[in-house]
Amino acid sequence: MKKFLSSTLTSFYHFGLWLDETLYRLFPGRIRKSQAKVISVGNITWGGTGKTPLVTKLARDLAYYGKKVAVLIRGYGRDEVEELRRSLPNIPVIVGRDRVRSAKTAVQKYGAEILVLDDGFQHRRLHRDLDIVNINTTLPFGNGKLIPAGILREPLENLKRAHLFVLTKSNIGAKNVQGVRQKLQELKPNALIFEASHKPMRFWDARRSRTVTLGEMRGRKASTLCAIGDPYSFEKTVENLGIEIAFAARFDDHHPYTRKDLTNFLQECRRLSVTDVVTTEKDYIRIEPVISKGAWPELDGSNLLTLQIEFQIHDEEDFLRRCLNP
């Protein structure tokens, strides 16, 4: 019954996608063009492809080269919006479901010359000058089925719309990189393909406001806590740093942490005699409000460590050149 329901929902979802694609093809006037250039960063799978890190890096680099930049985000999860605003304090981050309206605001209010559209591949109404699609190399296309039966948000053939691909987490999913390249080139010959890595830089001990080097944690035992789209990559990164994971707590993507969640988690840590807890920057944004209410009742001597990652694009100069001149 469950399989039948999943298959039925997938069929309805597929029909909706087909209808939407058909309407845009028949009525191209539905697509609105902004006065600013638009660079979309999106994906074709559900979560965990590194969109937010790429949006952050791209916006920061474009601003460095003197461009007036604004980021447009729908704002599904408060964590992503807050992460962008903390990372880009001098760049407008405009939240809103209507991206066309957000684009007008960015141009009229902030004088934006380039708009970076977060999670924009499925948002067709705003014309884009450059369509970037991230592919998570640790789990490129799942089982090849559309949600909810799989993780695809669109059929793979729709990748033909993209102008440029970024193969993210290529340091962790190295064994899949060549296969993904071949698949993309089959779908779109002469496709522009770049590889990117999530490079760990340091830990931030939030409870004591201090930096902890990667070397200090090597050989230690820790528990991990995350609610992200691709927990495997995070945990694998932690293990690659020489840290033994005694207990890995996983919640659904964008999960709103509660006092009970943290209490149960810390009780398990205490049972395993683990005093180091490692989480992601995105998770910490959702954990922080709960902690501020005194919801870290156990393990007073524990370390809450946020792993800080740098998004690195191979052949970055060529990538940025194409983004500056879409």
- Do residues 101 and 181 both lie within one domain? yes
- Do residues 32 and 97 both lie within one domain? yes
Q: Dihedrals φ, ψ of 222, to 5°?
A: -145, 165
- Do residues 156 and 248 both lie within one domain? no
Between CA 56 and CA 90 the distance in angstroms is 12
Residues in the chain: 326
pTM, 2 dp? 0.90
- Do residues 153 and 295 both lie within one domain? no
- Do residues 9 and 105 both lie within one domain? yes
- Do residues 26 and 153 both lie within one domain? yes
Domain containing residue 70: 2-198+312-324
Between CA 139 and CA 234 the distance in angstroms is 13
- Do residues 122 and 222 both lie within one domain? no
- Do residues 16 and 130 both lie within one domain? yes
- Do residues 245 and 128 both lie within one domain? no
Between CA 272 and CA 283 the distance in angstroms is 22
Dihedral of alpha carbons 152, 154, 158, 161, sign: negative
Tens digits of pLDDT across the chain (326 residues):
556 556 666 676 666 666 667 666 766 767 899 999 999 999 999 888 999 999 999 999 999 999 999 999 997 767 889 999 999 999 999 999 999 999 999 999 999 999 999 999 998 899 999 999 999 999 999 998 998 889 999 999 999 999 999 999 999 999 999 999 999 999 999 899 999 999 999 999 987 889 999 999 999 999 999 999 899 999 999 999 999 999 999 999 989 999 899 989 988 998 999 989 999 999 999 999 888 766 565 445 678 999 999 999 999 999 999 999 87
As for how many domains the chain has, the answer is: 2
- Do residues 101 and 70 both lie within one domain? yes
- 260 CB neighbour count, 10 Å cutoff: 10
CATH number at residue 292: 3.40.50
- Do residues 156 and 279 both lie within one domain? no
- Do residues 60 and 146 both lie within one domain? yes
Between CA 258 and CA 131 the distance in angstroms is 37
CATH number at residue 87: 3.40.50.300
